[in-house]
Amino acid sequence: MGEAEDRREAPDAVGKVLVVTGAGSGIGRSVARTFLAAGWVVVLAGRRRSALVETAAGEPGARIVPVDVADARSVSSAFREIERLTGRIDVLFNNAGTFGPRGEVDEIDPVEWQRTLQVNLTGTFRCSAEAFRIMKQQRPRGGRIINNGSISAHAPRPLSAAYTASKHAVTGLTRSLDLDGRPYGITCGQIDIGNAATELLAGLGTDGGALQADGTLRPEPSFPVEEVGRAVLLMAELPPAATVNSIVLTASGMPFAGRG
């Protein structure tokens, strides 16, 4: 067991609780650390326990709960453990995802297509359903679900049909969750991020750059990933009477408006 796992408080001693999926690296890790610095209790959820322990970095507010969002039993078990550890969920940040296969639509393996939807869309659905159930029952009732979409929910990159389709679907899920949550004080918003500087996107600013719609490669600007944490924290800490339905956060000068 990791050091952070041993510091378990009784549910009635826990403050505001954030659950972050995909917390072992990149955007998930940055968001988790931003909330920990702000005094939140943060449940770090992800497939690799060792990476979650690295994210926790000994912070007393961190709780480690391994989960594979593509596995229904894993998700159900993880949220039972979260409820046991914290007693409530104030915010769920659905961040776990995969870029999926790269290629023209006739080149995409249907198995990889299904895998992309299973992680990005069905995984978001499963975690949201579990959090929704808890938020309906807890006292005080209510909470926030924040989905990590993508600017590909607005305009695709070339050769990304599976990823783009999954992220467009996440937008529909976000809107439905927000509508269905109204009677229970549950809101759902989406943050669509473009070119946050993580290891996965390290090649965008190199000489090769990113593939553009006209077939050329072009280096693209990026912005510090810590700004994503600040934006999600802003969404999370609004009073219950206010919510952010959608926010698009991109690098300045990124070729987004002209994509497609």
Cis before 110 (ω within 30)? no
- CA separation, residue 17 to residues 39, 106, 212, 217 (Å): 10, 44, 40, 42
Q: Is 184 a catalytic residue?
A: no
SS3 50: helix
| Angstrom distances, CA of residue 23 to CA of 19, 56, 160, 183 | 9, 9, 24, 30
Q: Which of 55, 163, 196, 231 is catalytic?
A: 163
How far is Cα 248 from Cα 194, in angstroms, rounded to an integer? 8
Q: How crowded is the C-beta side of 49, counted as CA atoms within 13 Å?
A: 8
Structure tokens at 255: 């070729």
Nearest of 235, 219, 171, 229 to residue 196 by alpha carbon = 229
Please state, in angstroms and as integers, the Cα–Cα distance from residue 66 to each residue in 74, 157, 178, 237, following that order: 8, 31, 27, 26
Instruction: State the first-to-last Cα distance of the chain, in angstroms, to the nearest integer.
Output: 47
Positive or negative CA dihedral for 106, 112, 118, 123?
Answer: negative
Catalytic residue numbers, as ranges: 163
